[in-house]
Amino acid sequence: MKVLTFGWDFPPHTTGGLGMACQGITRELAQSGVEVIFVLPKSQAVDGHSRFIFADVEKMVRTREVPSAMVPYTGSQTMIDVYDEYGRHHLYSRTLLQEVHAYAHKAAEIAMEEEFDLIHAHDWTSYLAGVAAKIATGKPLILHVHATAFDQAAGENVDPQVYEIEKESFAVADKVVAVSQFTKDIVTQKYDVNPDKVTVVHNGIDTQEVKRHEPTLQELRAQGKKIVLYHGRITVQKGVDYFVQAAQKVVSYDPNVVFVISGKGDMTGQIMQQVGALGLSQHVLFAGALWYEERDQMYQSVDLVVMPSVSEPFGLVPLEAIQHGAPSLISKQSGVAEVITHVLKVDFWDVEEMANKILAALRYPVMHGQLVKEGQKESAQLSWKGVARKVLDLYRHLIEWVT
Amino acid sequence: MLTVCPYFHVHQPYRVKKYRVFDIGNDNEYFNDASETDLNNRKIIEKVAEKSYRPMNAVLQELLDTHPEFKFSLSFSGTVLDQFEAYAPDVLESFQKLVASGRVEILADTYHHSLAFFYSVPEFERQVAQHAKRIHELFGYTPKVFRNTELSYRNDLAKWCEDNGYIGIMAEGWDPVLGWRSPNYVYNPQGCSKIKVLLKNYKLSDDVAFRFGNQAWESFPLSAETYTDWIHAHHGDGQTINLFMDYETFGEHQWEDTGIFNFMRTLPHLLTEHPDTTFKTATETALSYDAVGEIDVPDVMTWADTDRDLTAWTGNDIQKDAIAAIYGIERDVMATEDPEIIETWRKLQTSDHFYYMCTKWSEDGDVHAYFSPYESPYDAYVAFMNALSDLQLRVQHAVAEKEKRRQEVASSESTLTFWERLRIWWHGLFKRFRSLFTFS
């Protein structure tokens, strides 16, 4: 079986869960004998393709790059700085929307050249590429929904152009994969997609031996401080402002708690102001965006991780955190809440309860211990292998149904 | 001859509200949730009264009135009786009317539906005494057969019951304990000579309690005729069919639309159509038959889950922690001699609190989820531990106050002259015997 896959982001040059998901699924599909042709839009950001390797399945995955200048997680009108291969600024920058269309244009050409059985496109930036490939070749199309315009906007002011691309692409697609029931509900309710057409395939996580790092924030720990971490982009979708409100309630009860915010985003300035206005500067630390070793080091050094998302299609953070021994408090408005039970859960808007559960997690060591012990067992069950199995089932059904 | 011995257990706990860390030291009320959720104890009593207690008591009253041979046994936790009194007094009256027929027996129990026997026998004994007093007050009845919380049972519990004058005790008729033997006979507990153990026929009991409304069950829908045949099939192969189940089976676990009330309405008549079938209460069953053998249960056996042990209450770390915390403060709680503190402490001993913290997500997991008013076992633990933390503060405070008063009295006494002390002593004596002096 040969699958033409469109994505726009791939490790190690990734800014979030989408690239990780593409990597995990593709690797495991290749392991099960599926030949994946992974198409990525070429840009400076993903130029470093020498690091794009699957040591074990290298031969099965070919990459094909399209000239493009896309970066993820921005609105359709965001201007993108484009540099040529010598680092010179292009005279005319293009919007993300133009990039998406350019990508689709190239996608049709690639599709005509390649041989494959079906098309699989990840995230809205690749939907048009997938649709173009389908129109060019008539092959069945699967759209994989990792997020929707409603998540990015946290419910309000949905980008109309993104919405239009999503809605029209869903209508053309033969199957839609949603990363959670939470996301499926949005797809069926906000985009009028027939529920029968949408399959839920929850994301997974790589279960590997965790490398222990030197603990960080040693000084705070030596002072007996308890540390609570937020890790993720600082945007309206992620609910960081609720986290700060909860922090205030926690600190007024127990001044011995320190909150760390790791990440950056368009709300960073606003959050910093909020911290200042609430007089929390002594209790909230901004760590900048931590990745890889630094991030893992942070996970290993904190007492609790909070994922307060307003709208989270899946949410990898609690699964990453638990691998490093940190339990999580997550919002019920997240897809991952559907598949894990050994976490604390809260409505993102219920700041009072968020603070209560943060305090409880720090106060009751036996519960903390059980959340870690049982949570690790639970996350070990959520492998990409299982995800790929479901995707493969879907491929088979679709090919059977078409032929 | 074949006996049918039906026994229904009536219980509701005082669920702990969403008690937050911030409430510790500021709010002494743990059970007064007033939301629309299932943590609202009044709302639950009103709901279950409507769905189960009222309609089922009407059915039972009708059966007692029309079938003079119909008999059964009931057990009540003190916590449900208190809540009936407060929120649904008519339900309590209808139970009193059933018992007044003389054909409804009440069993002994712990007042607070606790697992105290396994953690503190003195506390267990106080709760059993409190329960007996309450049952006597409300029903004018003194129980002779004992059932422990969740039918939990062990050899030493049976021995305790025998030593305390009970003639029978109830237990699960669990195959690993019985071996080749049948639950449909009366046995002696290991180490006992007089007391009998009545074993639940879990197959026939659970056909009604758990499977009755299950459309995926091969015997669905179960007719009273078929069920009667299953019971009658035991003629010649047993003394008694012990059908033990939660009272709330009727109307709450099995909803009215399953036909459960009509099933019960017709069952006694069908059963006694066979001339050799009779109904007996638990006491009558224990007295009517000689024990055919001995039951040996060195480790706790319950009627719960597929494990039939205590793991539904004490299986994981948070459950063990919570239960250790509640029994760990017994000495201080009792030392306060404060009835309100002691009663609150006991309400927190109710086994349901620990059941809500269960994380066995095996085939029983959905059962636990169905019976829990909390969204997660961790929510249950947090609410419980926060409330307990507040109680601990109150206990510490009360003990400190008591100690302070004692010292004040001691220090003021030490400065008194001999004559003043004599006067105080004489005054105390006078007060104690005043009733004698003023008799005429």
ipTM above 0.90, yes or no: no
Phi first, then psi: what are they for A95, rounded to 5°? -85, 165
User: Which residues have CB under 8 Å from B287's CB, separation 6+?
Assistant: B167
Which residue type is seen at A355? A
**How many percent of chain A have pLDDT more than 70?**
84
CB contact under 8 A, B378 and A366: no
Place of tokens 């099960």: A32
Selected residues 279-338 of chain B with any CB under 8 Å from a CB in chain A: 316-318, 320-321
Whether residue A356 is found in the same domain as residue A230: yes
Place of tokens 């066979």: B274
Question: Is A210 part of any domain?
Answer: no
Residue A114: Cβ within 10 Å count: 15
Selected residues 383-402 of chain A with any CB under 8 Å from a CB in chain B: none
Phi first, then psi: what are they for B82, rounded to 5°? -60, -40
Whether residue B210 is found in the same domain as residue B255: yes
Which pLDDT score is estimated for A13?
Answer: 62
- Interface contact A345, partner B, CB < 8 A: yes
Whether residue B257 is found in the same domain as residue B334: no
Q: Which helix (H) or strand (E) holds B7?
A: strand B2-10
User: From CA B100, how far away is CA B92, in angstroms rounded?
Assistant: 12
pLDDT-based confidence at A74, cuts 50/70/90?
A: very low
CB contact under 8 A, A360 and B385: yes
Question: Is B64 part of any domain?
Answer: yes
Q: Which residue has the higher pLDDT, A342 or A74?
A: A342
Q: Which of A79-93, A244-258, B222-236, B362-376 has the lowest mean pLDDT?
A: A79-93
Which pLDDT score is estimated for B422?
Answer: 84
CB contact under 8 A, A367 and B22: no
Q: Strands (DSSP E) along B173-227, which ranges? A: 188-189, 196-200
Question: Is A211 part of any domain?
Answer: no
Whether residue B255 is found in the same domain as residue B339: no
- Interface contact A347, partner B, CB < 8 A: no
Question: Is B432 part of any domain?
Answer: no
Whether residue A134 is found in the same domain as residue A112: yes
| pLDDT at B253 > cutoff 70 | yes
Question: Is A209 part of any domain?
Answer: no
The DSSP secondary-structure symbol of B426 reads H
- Interface contact A360, partner B, CB < 8 A: yes
| Cis preceding-peptide flag for A12 (omega within 30 of 0) | yes
- Residue B384: both structure tokens together: 């419980």
- Pick the most confident of A75-79, A91-95, A262-266, B413-417: A262-266
Task: Supply the mean pLDDT for chain B.
Answer: 93
Whether residue B119 is found in the same domain as residue B189: yes
**Mean pLDDT, rounded, for A341-353:** 97
The predicted-structure confidence for B36-82, as pLDDT tens digits, reads as follows: 999 999 999 999 999 999 999 999 999 999 999 999 999 999 999 99
**Mean pLDDT, rounded, for B400-419:** 83
**How many percent of chain A have pLDDT more than 90?**
58
Residues of B in contact with A342 (CB under 8 A): 359, 378
Whether residue A343 is found in the same domain as residue A249: yes
Whether residue A181 is found in the same domain as residue A118: yes
Whether residue B280 is found in the same domain as residue B337: no
Select from B20, B320, B385 the Cβ nearest to the Cβ of A364: B385
User: From CA A282, how far away is CA A259, in angstroms rounded?
Assistant: 9
Question: Is B437 part of any domain?
Answer: no
CB contact under 8 A, A366 and B318: yes
Nearest of B154, B182, B181 to residue B241 by alpha carbon? B182
Whether residue A222 is found in the same domain as residue A332: yes
Measured in angstroms, the CA of A367 and the nearest CA of chain B are apart by 6
Specify the long-range contacts of residues A290-298, CB closer than 8 Å, at least 24 apart.
A290/A231, A290/A262, A290/A263, A293/A213, A294/A216, A295/A231, A295/A262, A295/A320, A296/A210, A296/A211, A296/A213, A296/A324, A297/A213, A297/A214, A297/A215, A297/A216, A298/A216, A298/A217, A298/A229, A298/A231, A298/A260, A298/A262
pLDDT-based confidence at A312, cuts 50/70/90?
A: very high
Task: Supply the mean pLDDT for chain A.
Answer: 85
Whether residue A53 is found in the same domain as residue A120: yes
pLDDT-based confidence at B23, cuts 50/70/90?
A: very high
Select from B18, B376, B385 the Cβ nearest to the Cβ of A345: B376
Whether residue A301 is found in the same domain as residue A237: yes
Whether residue A188 is found in the same domain as residue A59: yes
**Mean pLDDT, rounded, for A342-348:** 97
The predicted-structure confidence for B212-236, as pLDDT tens digits, reads as follows: 999 999 999 999 999 999 999 999 8
Question: Is A212 part of any domain?
Answer: no
Q: Determine which of B17, B19, B20 to mutate to test the interface with A (most A C-beta atoms within 10 Å).
A: B20
Which pLDDT score is estimated for B366?
Answer: 58
Which pLDDT score is estimated for B417?
Answer: 77
Q: Which helix (H) or strand (E) holds B4?
A: strand B2-10
| pLDDT at A84 > cutoff 90 | no
Q: Searching chain B, which residue's CA lies closest to the CA of residue A341?
A: B376
Question: Is B89 part of any domain?
Answer: yes
User: From CA B150, how far away is CA B246, in angstroms rounded?
Assistant: 10
| pLDDT at A68 > cutoff 60 | no
- Interface contact A295, partner B, CB < 8 A: no
Select from A341, A363, A369 the Cβ nearest to the Cβ of B21: A363
Q: Searching chain A, which residue's CA lies closest to the CA of residue B369?
A: A341
Q: Strands (DSSP E) along A128-265, which ranges? A: 141-145, 175-178, 198-200, 226-231, 257-262
Q: What CATH number corresponds to the domain at position B154?
A: 3.20.110.20
The predicted-structure confidence for B297-312, as pLDDT tens digits, reads as follows: 999 999 988 889 999 9
Question: In total, how many domains does chain A have?
Answer: 2
Question: Is B10 part of any domain?
Answer: yes
Nearest of A364, A345, A368, A363 to residue A253 by alpha carbon? A363
Question: In total, how many domains does chain B have?
Answer: 2
**Mean pLDDT, rounded, for A148-174:** 88
- Interface contact A252, partner B, CB < 8 A: no
Question: Is A307 part of any domain?
Answer: yes
Select from B18, B317, B376 the Cβ nearest to the Cβ of A370: B317
Whether residue A235 is found in the same domain as residue A181: no
Chain Cα centroid distance, residue B15: 15
- Residue B105: both structure tokens together: 């027996």
Helix, strand, coil distribution of chain B in percent, nearest 5: 55, 10, 35
Residues of B in contact with A360 (CB under 8 A): 21, 382, 385-386
Whether residue B222 is found in the same domain as residue B275: yes
Q: What CATH number corresponds to the domain at position A363?
A: 3.40.50.2000
Whether residue B124 is found in the same domain as residue B183: yes
Place of tokens 């200048």: A69
CB contact under 8 A, A341 and B376: yes
CB contact under 8 A, B317 and A366: yes
Residues of B in contact with A375 (CB under 8 A): none
Whether residue A127 is found in the same domain as residue A235: no
The predicted-structure confidence for A279-305, as pLDDT tens digits, reads as follows: 999 999 999 988 888 999 999 999 999
- Interface contact A342, partner B, CB < 8 A: yes
The predicted-structure confidence for A353-400, as pLDDT tens digits, reads as follows: 999 999 999 999 999 999 999 999 999 889 899 999 999 999 999 988
Place of tokens 């206005």: A277
- Residue B428: both structure tokens together: 């105390």
| pLDDT at A55 > cutoff 90 | no
Which pLDDT score is estimated for B436?
Answer: 67
Q: Which residue has the higher pLDDT, A36 or B121?
A: B121
Whether residue B236 is found in the same domain as residue B167: yes
Q: Searching chain A, which residue's CA lies closest to the CA of residue B381?
A: A367
Specify the long-range contacts of residues B367-374, CB closer than 8 Å, at least 24 apart.
B367/B305, B368/B312, B373/B15, B373/B37, B373/B38, B373/B39, B373/B44, B374/B39
Whether residue B259 is found in the same domain as residue B384: no
The predicted-structure confidence for B87-107, as pLDDT tens digits, reads as follows: 999 999 999 999 999 999 999
pLDDT-based confidence at A15, cuts 50/70/90?
A: low
Q: Which domain holds residue B272?
A: 2-295
Nearest of A155, A179, A140 to residue A24 by alpha carbon? A179
Residue A278: Cβ within 10 Å count: 16
pTM of the entire structure? 0.88
Question: Is B283 part of any domain?
Answer: yes
Measured in angstroms, the CA of B317 and the nearest CA of chain A are apart by 6
Question: Is A157 part of any domain?
Answer: yes
Select from A253, A373, A374 the Cβ nearest to the Cβ of B21: A253
pLDDT-based confidence at B412, cuts 50/70/90?
A: confident
Q: Which domain holds residue A83?
A: 2-204+383-402
Alpha helices in A176-316 (DSSP H): 181-190, 218-222, 240-253, 268-277, 292-301
Rg (C-alpha) for chain A, rounded Å, is 21
CB contact under 8 A, B22 and A371: no
Residues for chain B: how many in total? 440
Question: Is B113 part of any domain?
Answer: yes
Q: B350 in helix, strand or coil? A: strand
Which pLDDT score is estimated for A129?
Answer: 92
Select from B20, B22, B321 the Cβ nearest to the Cβ of A366: B321
Phi first, then psi: what are they for A73, rounded to 5°? 60, 40
Whether residue A190 is found in the same domain as residue A224: no
Whether residue A58 is found in the same domain as residue A160: yes
Q: Determine which of A330, A364, A372, A374 to mutate to test the interface with B (most B C-beta atoms within 10 Å).
A: A364
Residues of B in contact with A355 (CB under 8 A): 21-22
Residues of A in contact with B317 (CB under 8 A): 366-367, 369-370, 373
- Interface contact A357, partner B, CB < 8 A: yes
- Interface contact B386, partner A, CB < 8 A: yes
Active-site positions of B read 150
Which residue type is seen at A77? Q
Nearest of B12, B48, B16 to residue B32 by alpha carbon? B16
Question: Is A59 part of any domain?
Answer: yes
User: From CA B170, how far away is CA B3, in angstroms rounded?
Assistant: 16
Select from B22, B359, B376 the Cβ nearest to the Cβ of A253: B22
Q: Which residue has the higher pLDDT, B233 or B429?
A: B233
Question: Is A30 part of any domain?
Answer: yes
Question: Is B307 part of any domain?
Answer: no
